[in-house]
Every structure is written in structure tokens, then in C-alpha cells.
Structure 1
Amino acid sequence: MNLELRHLKVVCAIAETGSVTKAASTLGLAQPALTAQLQRIERTLGGPLFERDRRGARPTALGELVLARARVLLPAMKGLQDEAARLAGAVDAPRRYRFGGVNSPILGRLVHRLAAEQPQAQITTYASWSVDELAQLVAGGRLDFALAGVCGDSTPPTESGLGWREVAVDPVGVLLPERHPMAGRDEVGLVDLGREQWVAAPGDGCFGDCFAAACARAGFTPRKVFETDIRAGFDLVEAGVAVALCQATFRPVAGLVTRRLAGSPLRWRLMLGWHPDSPAADVADLVLEAAVASYTDSLAAHPDYQAWLTRNPEFGVRLPAPVPPIPGTGVRTA
């Protein structure tokens, strides 16, 4: 048997988890199958890689040697794959735009605008609830741009070397059924919703923590939070089971109303991210301009909010504000 990278991943998984059983679960394999694979690897390398007993699996001297090499080879191969993907993207024609979005309110408008301006362009989209996943896909050359939101002044993930620019910032509102006692107000105090149940979309961002902190400042702890997709969230709100936080430019839905939270205790910044060394960087300014225009177009369905923005210039489209350089890398994110 020839040793392959997948075999090195097996050895690393066992070492990191300290157990063949745990490694099998992590790799999505049956424990007997992983044990048999480890035995084949050990035969190929000429000796046992782990000492195994009831306390788990610990690397032998040979195992330590293999692990030391694997921890160099595996990241190097990952880097090669990422660079190759970015280089391949550089020679593609016609122009390609691959977008990833996390519950983005403007992705559809952005795709429509770019398709109208560049009919020959190849445009694809990918949806995920995870900002981290999208950042990794962009860093790996599998996506060109990520559209994601962050709470308040938080910074999107920069560990993968991505640069981020702000498209717009909005106050977070609340989605209520039309028959709700507070549906007739222009604004609703967060404290007035202290007895409500809530709907939340899944995700790995900081918004849940920001929401909990805002509720604490208002003097209450939120009751039950239902984590669900958007369609089911509509149903829960319409049925009067819960209320939902929503973006100010949320598309109107029959039977539901969007109301601002008094004092704007929560803010949502829509961000566009890309890798500065990718071909996407060459058109990033163009895409950012199209994203801002798409956001502006979305305001047409919300004349009251448009008027509110004129009185509150700290919201909406603001002057460009690059995210600071990534410490220790020299990479500027704008």
C-alpha cells in the first residue's frame, strides 16, 4: 500500500482526539473500519504508531515522527490547493462572480444588477448560515465574494486573510403580526417586548450575544428563542407564537409589519468580503459599488425608513470605512 495524504489525516485525527473511537466519529467512519485502516498504515510504515489502552491512544516514537511530517505536509497541500484554485480563477473567461450569502437582503438585487450590466458574466450563488464557512470558501478560491452581516461594530472573520468593506448599516427592527397590540406604533421599546417569545435564524455570528446584552440593558432576559428557517419564522410570527428581529429593509410580508426598536439598541452592518490576492480583488470596487446600489434600490419599498435615514445619517450607506489591517500580516483589508 502506498501512503497517501488521507492516511496522514487519519493519523492526525487519532492523535488530536486521543482515541480511535473518537477519531472515527470525527472522520465519519465506523470504528472497525478506522482500526483496520490504521493497521494497514502501520504495516506500510513498519511499526505501531500508537500505544493503545483503556486510557486512549498515545503516539509512539514512530508515531511522533509521522505526526511531525504530517503537520507540515497537510497544511502545505491545503495551501497548494487554495493557490491553484485562485490561479485557475484568474484565467477564467468570461468574468465569473461566485457569491456566498448569509441571509443577505440584497443578494438577489446584486445578481440582477450585475447580470444586466454584464450579460456574458457567469454568476453563481451559495447560501450558508455560517460566516466562517463562507470566509473559508472565499479564502480557498471556491467563492469570490461573501455578503454577511455583523452586529454593531463587530469585525467579520479575518483569520483567512479576507478584506471586508461595509455596504450599509441599519437599525434592527422587530417583525410583528398585524394584530399585535404594538403593531400600530412607529417604534417599539425593547423592554415592551420582554414577555414575548422570539424567532432567530441559525448562524455562528455574535448577534445572539448582542441581542442578549441589549435585553439585559433593557432589564429582562429573553424568553424562549425558536431557531428556525425564514419561512417557518414567518409562520410562527403570523400565528402569534413569537416575534422576530429583522433587518430594516426586510421585504414586506402580508399579515406582518416591521417596526423600529426605540433608540436603535441593535445595529446590523452588511459587509462585502473578498481575498486581496484573488482575481476578485480586481473587480472588488465594482462589486462594492453594485452592492451599495442594490441596497439603495431596496429602500424604494420602504419610504418611511428612507425618510428616517435622512434624519439619521449615521445609518444607511456611510463613507467607506476599511476594517483595520490584520495584526502581524501587513495585509490591509480595503
Structure 2
Amino acid sequence: MELELRHLRTVRAIADAGSLTRAATALGLAQPALSAQLKRIERALGGALFERGRHGVRATALGELVLERTRVVLPAVTELQREAARFARTPRRTADRFRLGGTHGPLLGALVDRLADVAPDAQVTTCTSWSERELADLLVEGRIDFALVGVCGSAAPPGAEHLVWREIATDPVFVMVPDGHPLARRREVELTELADEEWACVPGDGCFGDCFSAACARAGFTPRRMYETDTASLAHLVQVGRAVGLCRATFPATPGITTRPLSGTPLTWRHLLGWHPAARQPDTAATVLALARGAHAGAAARSDSYADWLAARGAPPFHNAAQRVV
């Protein structure tokens, strides 16, 4: 019998389960069938892989050697399968097509607009998701070419071990209040002044919610309620006075809403562009990154509150200080 990958997976399952009975259940096999298969594998490898005892099985010296190799071989084969699938799904004439993924926000539309200017004959498609991890998976699988996402503070981007990520810009997180709110006339707002408010923000699968709760705890209070909803509903909740909202400083001007910085900048948001290193030529990725940074600068230029915040800190207008590898 020639050794196959399924045999290595069987050995791995037995070791992980710690007994033939539990391994058979996990593999959907009868225990006698699994025992017979293990004997065939052991004959192919030249010796016993497990010692059986009252409390289950324990790997022999030969079994430890085989298990050590499976820890290298099985992940490598899995990665090969993913790479092959990604390669098969990636259009070979990549210069004629841009498949963009992004979380909901103004930057994705602005990037599409700029791509249409520089590559008028290219086909541009978009895919949106609340989940940064889902977009990273789509990049790894070759289903999209670029992902425009955001992460809280210094958090690591999703799928960093497989993907290239470049920072577009870092924004402070602002608070959104109705125009008639008493704090709307302030240049900056202390987080403690909002202790009695209800809150609203857009959902995500990163650490932003935890970071916000931690910032509130440092300010001495626990948020009363947090509504997680789409951007349009968030704006409505703020407009009618149901909640105050959290947003990036580049949030576009909206009737009935005033955005104000939080004193001390307790929360920040990093905009990132990601791609798979094998999917794009470096000059194409550099072009898209430059366009994304231009899209952010354009969004920042339309925000008076962001301009005031930068000016108060002596920063150049719409300066993008962070453009590093992450």
C-alpha cells in the first residue's frame, strides 16, 4: 500500500482524539474499520504508531516522527490547494479588471471613481461586507483583487500571514451629535460629557467595540446602550436624537448632524488596502494604493471638522502621516 494524504490525516485524527473510539466518531467510521486502516498504515510505515492502553492511545517513537512530519506536510498541502484555487480564479489579464472589496463607507466609491479616470476601459466590480475577515478570505481565495478595510488603533490586519497590507491613512474617531445638541458648538468633546447618552456605530468583527468600552471605562462610565446598524440608520438615529454616533473623521457632511473630535483622541481608525502578493504586479498595486490615498485625502478635504482638528495640532492639511507596511 502506498501512503496517501488521507492516511496522514487519519494518524493525525487518532493522535488528536487520544483514542480510536473518539477518532472513529470524528471521522465518521466504525471503530473496527478504523483499526483495520491503522494496521495497514502501520504496515506501510514499518512499525506501530500507537501504543494502546486503558486510557486511550499514545504515540510510539515512530508515531511521533510521523506526527511531526504531518505538522509540516498537511498545512503545506492545504496551502497549495488554496493557492491553486486562487490562481485558477484570478483573471490572467489583470490590468483589464479590478475586483474591489470593501467595508461600507465613502472611500470605496471614491476609489472606484478614481480608477475609472485612470483606467477608463477596465472593468471594475465591487463586493462589500461588514466583516474584515471575510474580505481577507476573499483575497486569499482569489475572488477579489484588492480589499479596502479598516482596523481599530494598532490592531493587526486580518490574514496578515498570507496578504500584503499597506496603510492608507489613520483617522481619529469623532462623535456625531444632532445639530441642536448642546455639545455641537464645542470644538472638542470630553468622553465623560457623553456618559448619559445612548450610542450608535456600524458593525464589524474587529476590536473596536472592546476598545470603545475600554475608553469609556477609563473615563469612568459604562455605555448605556450601543446600536450597531448600517450607515443610513446610524445617521437617522443621530438626527432624531436617539443616540450619538461614532464615526471616522472623514465621515461626509450630513444634514442635521455635527461631527466633533473627542478630547485626547481616545480612539483611532486605520484605513488599509490589502492584496495577495502573487496576484498583482507591484506597479498595479502601487497605483491602486496611490488612488486610495488620494480618495482618503479627498474625503478629508470635505470635512471642516477634520480640517479644524488638524490645524489645531499644527499638521499640514489632510496630512497622511502613516503610510507604512503593516
TM-score by length of 1: 0.72
**Cα separation, 2, equivalents of 1:17 and 1:226:** 42
Cα displacement (A) at 1:195: 0.7
Map Cα deviations across residues 175-198 of structure 1 (whole Å, 9 max, x no partner): 112222222222211110001111
Map Cα deviations across residues 33-63 of structure 1 (whole Å, 9 max, x no partner): x979x9x99999999xxxxxxxxxx9xxxxx
- Aligned: 1:169 with 2:148: no
Q: CA RMSD in A?
A: 4.3
Map Cα deviations across residues 140-195 of structure 1 (whole Å, 9 max, x no partner): 22222221112222221244422222111111111112222222222211110001
Aligned partner of 1:151: which letter?
Answer: C
Unpaired runs of 5+ in structure 2?
Answer: 19-26, 41-56, 58-66
Map Cα deviations across residues 197-236 of structure 1 (whole Å, 9 max, x no partner): 1112221111112111211221111111122222222222
Whether contact under 8 Å (1:168, 1:315) holds in the other structure is no
Name 2:93's counterpart in structure 1: 92
**Cα separation, 1, equivalents of 2:125 and 2:161:** 22
Name 1:157's counterpart in structure 2: 158
Aligned partner of 1:248: which letter?
Answer: A
The 3-state SS of whatever aligns with 1:258 is strand
Name 2:288's counterpart in structure 1: 287
**Cα separation, 2, equivalents of 1:314 and 1:133:** 35
Aligned partner of 2:180: which letter?
Answer: R
TM-score by length of 2: 0.74
Written as runs of structure 1 = structure 2, the 5 A alignment for 1:190-201 is 190-201=191-202
Structure exhibiting the larger radius of gyration computed from Cα positions: 2
Aligned partner of 2:103: which letter?
Answer: V
Name 2:46's counterpart in structure 1: none
Name 2:53's counterpart in structure 1: none
Aligned partner of 2:213: which letter?
Answer: A
**Cα separation, 1, equivalents of 2:68 and 2:35:** 16
Written as runs of structure 1 = structure 2, the 5 A alignment for 1:177-196 is 177-196=178-197
Name 1:211's counterpart in structure 2: 212
The 3-state SS of whatever aligns with 2:183 is coil
Name 1:326's counterpart in structure 2: none
**Cα separation, 1, equivalents of 2:239 and 2:181:** 10
Aligned partner of 1:82: which letter?
Answer: R
Moved more, 299-308 or 95-104: 299-308
- Aligned: 1:147 with 2:148: yes
Name 1:80's counterpart in structure 2: 80
Name 1:121's counterpart in structure 2: 122
The 3-state SS of whatever aligns with 2:242 is coil
Cα displacement (A) at 1:112: 0.7
Name 2:324's counterpart in structure 1: 322
**Cα separation, 2, equivalents of 1:16 and 1:235:** 51
Written as runs of structure 1 = structure 2, the 5 A alignment for 1:3-152 is 75=75, 78-88=78-88, 89=90, 91-152=92-153
**Cα separation, 1, equivalents of 2:187 and 2:243:** 19
Name 1:24's counterpart in structure 2: none
Aligned partner of 1:207: which letter?
Answer: F
The 3-state SS of whatever aligns with 2:113 is helix
Cα displacement (A) at 1:321: 4.3
Whether contact under 8 Å (1:90, 1:279) holds in the other structure is no
Cα displacement (A) at 1:15: 10
Whether contact under 8 Å (2:140, 2:163) holds in the other structure is yes
Q: How many residues align?
A: 315
**Cα separation, 2, equivalents of 1:199 and 1:285:** 35
**Cα separation, 1, equivalents of 2:143 and 2:14:** 29
Aligned partner of 2:249: which letter?
Answer: A
Map Cα deviations across residues 81-103 of structure 1 (whole Å, 9 max, x no partner): 43234444362254322222123
Percent identity, aligned pairs only? 49
Unpaired runs of 5+ in structure 1?
Answer: 19-33, 48-57, 59-66, 324-332
**Cα separation, 2, equivalents of 1:122 and 1:222:** 45
The 3-state SS of whatever aligns with 1:296 is helix
